[in-house]
Amino acid sequence: MSQSAERLAEFPVCNSFGDVVNERSQSAVQRLIGSWRYVGSSLDGKSQPGRGASPKGIIIYDAHGHMACHVAPDREVTRAGKEPTGEEATAALADHIAYFGTYSVDERAQTVTHHRQGSVQPGDKGDVVRGYEFVGDRLILRPVGTTREVIWERIK
């Protein structure tokens, strides 16, 4: 590598939301940006039951460092009255993921961190860190320290 190329490689670059990143992490951000359709989740290599036959979901990474995630189980959840009862609310929340906030990418660790600003799940606070892997049109997110994986497919 020539000296100038080496200098360039080490030169810190700011991504669109102000984090200092190197050039490779900027490209990981570029690959994340867009929206992704939920395909499924697995634990220990086995697909996870509990979300029904055809759960739906979307995860969004925008160009300005904002993100949102929503995974809805395939389950009929009813509401008898104007406001859901405690039981109906409990059923609606079970296995339902809905949060949003900002995100940042650590290219060295190959992780994306979701800085949650709002989440419907009681007690949900703070950041979640996900290892990311791109496979063709798919994005695999793995909660760090678990054998869980969540598969997404690029919406295009």
Please give the residue ranges that form the binding site for another protein (CB under 8 A).
34-35, 56-58, 60, 62-64, 66, 68, 70, 72, 77-79, 83-93, 96, 98-100, 117-124, 155-156
Query: How many CB atoms within 10 Å of residue 76?
Result: 6
Q: Please name the residue that has the structure tokens 């979640």.
A: 128
Query: How many CB atoms within 10 Å of residue 89?
Result: 13
Q: Identify which of residues 34 and 40 has a Cβ nearer to another protein in the complex.
A: 34
Task: Write down the least CB distance from residue 57 to another protein, Å.
Answer: 8
- Which segments of 13-129 does DSSP mark as H helices, in order? 23-32, 86-93
Q: Is 122 exposed, middle or buried (0-12, 13-18, 19+ CB in 10 A)?
A: exposed
Q: Identify which of residues 28 and 68 has a Cβ nearer to another protein in the complex.
A: 68
Task: Write down the least CB distance from residue 124 to another protein, Å.
Answer: 7
Q: Identify which of residues 28 and 72 has a Cβ nearer to another protein in the complex.
A: 72
**Degrees, nearest 5: CA angle 63-36-102:** 40
- The residues, ordered by sequence, that sit 6+ positions from 58 with a Cβ below 8 Å of its Cβ are 35, 36, 37, 38, 68, 69, 70, 155
Q: Identify which of residues 91 and 140 has a Cβ nearer to another protein in the complex.
A: 91
Q: Identify which of residues 60 and 129 has a Cβ nearer to another protein in the complex.
A: 60
Residue type, 116: R
Task: Write down the least CB distance from residue 62 to another protein, Å.
Answer: 5
Task: Write down the least CB distance from residue 68 to another protein, Å.
Answer: 6
Task: Write down the least CB distance from residue 129 to another protein, Å.
Answer: 21
